[in-house]
Amino acid sequence: MCLAPRVYPLRFFCYTLPIMTAPKVCLCLTGGTLNEDLALVEKYRPCIDMAELRADFLQKDERLHIRRFPELAGIPCILTIRRKIDGGKFLDGEANRSMLFARALAFADPNPAKNFAFVDFEEDFFVPSLQDAALAFGTRIIRSRHSMTENIPNIAEKIETMRVTGYEIPKISCRANSLAEVTNMFREAKKLGDSEHILCCMGPYGVPARILAAFLNSYLTYSTPEENAGDMGELYHVDPRTLEETYRFRSIRGDTKIFGVTGFPLVNSLSPEIHNTGYKRHNMNAVYIPLRSDTIEEALEFAEALNMSGLSVTVPHKEAVIGRLASQSQAVQKIQACNTLVRTPEGWHGRNTDAAGLERALQEFVGARTLSGVKVAIIGAGGAAKAAAFAVKRLRGRACVFNRTVIRAKKLAEMYGFKWAFLDIDSYRLLSKYSDLIIQTTSKGMDSTGQANHDNDPLYFYTFSGKEALYDLIYTPLETPLMARARAAGCRVEGGYSMLKYQAHQQFEYFTGEPYGPHESK
């Protein structure tokens, strides 16, 4: 079914949460010394609201002086001494840990700003004297439960059992091993209403929960400085500057419109920066987030649970999503790949902006309005290759599709009257013939550095003459091993950022009803 495109203003769909205080950004400090941690507080001060001192990371002699940290930091601080079983570094036993907590809470200052504002005690850590001291001195207890390897399904029920007193803040931090488990956390959070709690979703699937803490009604979101990212790498914290500058975290509320990009593995996507820059320039109450998903079904389930207004689709879901569309554009019908979903009252409307984005990028790259007389090699036969074939045909180029699975190459090529061939050394001569312009559409080389080889270079068997022009749709890294090899041979080379930018600008207009604007994205 093909419908005329419908564009809905950003105010059309509304998912509203109870009004509550905006979640705070808590900087997680894992330095070996207090001075290291204080330097990071100072560096990121404009982007954070509070800090968590992870005393379990401190050198042993430094731990003796943690009592002074809140006064030196000048912001509300959480004291955490995490055991190894809960993902921490403390190995000296519970007696020593209790003594360290006592040292940090003792000799409270009449000025509460000079004391720890919070102390994190696990749900099985009950020391009456420490709890009494915290309550007496105005230090709130965060009562936490951690699951480092698996999800906790009954989050709302568990949170309620952790509310020992009205003065504690229950916290659950668990690892998500799929996007479906992240979706479950958001559904469980709705049951909690506006009660104080902290919800954290660890791992690469959990990034949406970090950014959308407001939709979890979470008291805070934890963030790690770029300098210490390796210490907390398995948690997948978002650094504070990215939260502030890319996602405008402090402006996200229950009525903020949510857009995003889904795919797998979805590493280092630049789409959030492009789209969120557009929302900021247009003063829109919207945010665009990454959604790592193994299947398109899990991505759409998340989108429905949070009433997302639009979704960008990348590898490997561009073809699988077509069966889930209520309607689709003529381009999607022709290309049989969809990279843009827009919510309508009838369901998801699918579009393809890859082809138009690539068409404009190729025109700039070759310096001509058409590819007339140009022999083009299209490497791959997936969703991106389908958009490339569509664009090359529109630009009047002659092409040959090369792919490891030859039946897919044949099927794609015959749609446009192109030639097709198996992608290996036996097709060397044909590839040389169609090498005026080589368009590389596979994922080989993505997030790859170093020497070209069979695993990161789809044309590892081909020797460049220097006369070829190579356009690689990959944009991370800026130069793939294939691109580096072609450039060294004297070829004109460009990565896929220009295509990404142009297709994203068109997506932005479909999502919001507004043109991206005269200013280019970064």
Looking at the annotation, which residues are catalytic?
A: 318
Q: How far apart are CA 211 and CA 434, in angstroms?
A: 46
Three-state secondary structure of 154-191: CHHHHHHHCCCCCCCEEEEEEECCCHHHHHHHHHHHHH
* CA angle in degrees (0–180, nearest 5) for 321-13-324: 15
> Cis peptide before 240, with omega less than 30 degrees from 0?
no
Burial category of 49 from C-beta neighbours within 10 Å (exposed 0-12, middle 13-18, buried 19 and up): middle
Three-state DSSP state, 470: strand
What does DSSP assign to residue 346? T
Name 65's Cβ contacts closer than 8 Å, sequence gap at least 6.
34
Cβ atoms 169, 143 nearer than 8 A: yes
DSSP classification of residue 242: I
| Residues contacting residue 30 through CB under 8 Å, at least 6 positions apart | 54, 57, 224, 228, 231, 232
* Contacts within 8 Å (CB) and 24+ apart, 399-407: 399/375, 399/434, 400/375, 400/376, 400/430, 400/431, 400/433, 400/434, 402/377, 402/378, 402/427, 402/431, 403/379, 405/381
